[in-house]
Amino acid sequence: MKTTIIIKGTHCQSCKILIEDVCGEISGIQSCTVNFETGATIIEHTENINWDALKKEIEALGEYAVLIPDIKLFACPECHLEYADETWANKCESWCKEHHSCNLDIIKHAAQK
C-alpha cells in the first residue's frame, strides 16, 4: 500500500535523509520518499502501520508537523475491530459469527490506533 502524508517544516536534504532514515526503522514501513521542498512524503507500507507512532517519531526529530490523511478502515460488525483491507474485515466477521470469538491469525491484521 502507498499513502501520501505531508510533513511541514522540511527545508533541506538533511531533513529528507533524517526522516527517511527514521521511517525505515518503523515496523510496517517498506519505503519512504520525502520531497523536502513540498513536504509530500510517500510511505509504502503493509496494512498494519501505527500512524500515531510514525507521527510522534517524526515530530520528535525537530520542528516538523505531520499531517496524515483519514484512512478508510473497514470494521467487523461483530467485534468492531477495524482493518485497512476489506478482505480481512470480512474474514474477521465470518470467524466471529461462526465461533463467537477472535482468531489471532486474523486480528493481527487489524489496524492499530
Cell of 29: 514501513
pLDDT tens string 28-45 = 999 999 999 999 999 999
- What is the number of structural domains in the chain? 2
pTM score, whole prediction: 0.63
| Enclosing domain of residue 20 | 2-67
Task: Looking at the structure, tell me whether residues 81 and 58 fall in a common domain.
Answer: no
The pLDDT, as a whole number, for residue 111 is 74
Pairing of strands 82-83, 2-8: unpaired
Interatomic CA distance for residues 32 and 105, integer angstroms: 28
Residues 28, 55 within the same domain: yes
> pLDDT for 61-105, tens place per residue?
999 999 988 767 788 999 989 887 788 899 999 999 999 999 999
Show the cell assigned to 32: 519512504
Query: What's residue 38's pLDDT?
Result: 93
Specify the long-range contacts of residues 29-38, CB closer than 8 Å, at least 24 apart.
29/54, 34/7, 34/10, 35/10, 36/10, 36/11, 36/12, 37/10
The answer to whether position 13 is within a domain reads yes
- What pLDDT score was predicted for residue 108? 87
What pLDDT was estimated at residue 47? 73
Q: Does one domain contain both 11 and 59?
A: yes
Looking at this protein, which amino acid is placed at residue 19? I
Q: How far is CA 99 from the centre of its chain?
A: 29
